Amino acid sequence: MRASPWLLSLAIAAGLAACQPAQQGGDTASAGATDQAPPPAVAATSDERSYVFQCGELTVHATYRGQDSATVVVGDRTFAMSSQPAASGARYSDGQGTTFWTRGTTDGTLALNGEPDRTCTGSGAEGVAAPGPAAAGTAAAGFRATGNEPGWLAEVAAGATPSLRVETDYGQRTFEIPLPTQGKDGWSGKAADGTDIKLTFQRTVCQDDMSGQAFGTTAMLTVGARQYHGCGDFGGAPTLAAKP
């Protein structure tokens, strides 16, 4: 049987329509892709730490970036420095004869190219102006140290006659030593119950193992036969309080 020309034309038209792309659906999908919100930006992190030192008659602002580089601003001069080997402390140089060498955040040496070395003192606190040479690193400036796991706190009160207060085990035990014996690297004495207490420090940069905050000294607290390790600073610098 021979097909009708009209039916044949209708079948061809239907086939062509089926082959056409779905323009509206494609446009909608494309628009949807364009309108999608971008992924959330990842917050930038920074490990910069800034300290102020007094180096002779010069005020020095030092900004450290991790352990590898530092920017040292001396008056209107800015020096980009990189870390250099040092027997102790942290030493940075611009490679052109200027170096900044610190032992912790409370003392150091500035060597400007062609000028005599200058002794530097700092408060140990970030962004706080340095005290005078007589106050830095002495009992008169006060000292505070803390540690973690378990949390402990030790404070030497500022003044000509220091007193030592200690909290251990997140504040569960407290000791007061009104007149501790002061040595070149710390304080010691007996609490009212006869417990031997000793707080010592070493002038090396110390990083808190929980917060990552940098301090000017490492510290060790001995209570009886037990030892606690942590970080500390002179001058009442902010530190982590023991957990309640």
What pLDDT is stored for residue 235 in this prediction? 67
Distance from CA of residue 152 to its chain's centroid?
20
What pLDDT is stored for residue 47 in this prediction? 62
Place of tokens 């610190």: 102
3 state DSSP class of 56: coil
- pLDDT tens digit sequence for 123-165: 766 665 444 433 334 444 588 899 998 899 999 986 666 789 9
Give exposure, 141-170, as e/b (b: 16+ Cβ within 10 Å).
bbbbbbbbeebbbbbbebeeebbbbbbbee
Q: Kindly report the number of other CB atoms within 10 A of residue 216's CB atom.
A: 28
Pick out the chain residues at pLDDT < 50.
1, 6-8, 10, 16-19, 21-46, 129-140, 236-244
Tally the C-alpha atoms within 13 A of residue 25's C-alpha that lie toward its C-beta: 3
Helical H runs in the chain? Answer: 5-19, 23-35
What pLDDT is stored for residue 211 in this prediction? 76
Instruction: Please return the burial class of 109, using the count of CB atoms within 10 Å of its CB with bins 0-12, 13-18 and 19+.
Output: middle
What pLDDT is stored for residue 65 in this prediction? 80
How many Å apart are CA 122 and CA 99, to the nearest integer? 17
Distances (CA, A) of 16 to 4, 23, 62: 19, 15, 76
**Under a CB-based contact definition with an 8 Å cutoff, are residues 234 and 199 in contact?**
no
3 state DSSP class of 109: strand
Q: What is the DSSP string of 1-53?
A: -PPPHHHHHHHHHHHHHHHS--HHHHHHHHHHHHHSPPPPPPPP---EEEEEE
- What count of residues does the chain have? 244
How many Å apart are CA 215 and CA 239, to the nearest integer? 8
**Cis peptide bond N-terminal to 21, omega within 30:** no
What pLDDT is stored for residue 92 in this prediction? 93
**Under a CB-based contact definition with an 8 Å cutoff, are residues 232 and 145 in contact?**
yes
Task: Count H helices and E strands in the chain, helices first.
Answer: 2, 19
What pLDDT is stored for residue 36 in this prediction? 43
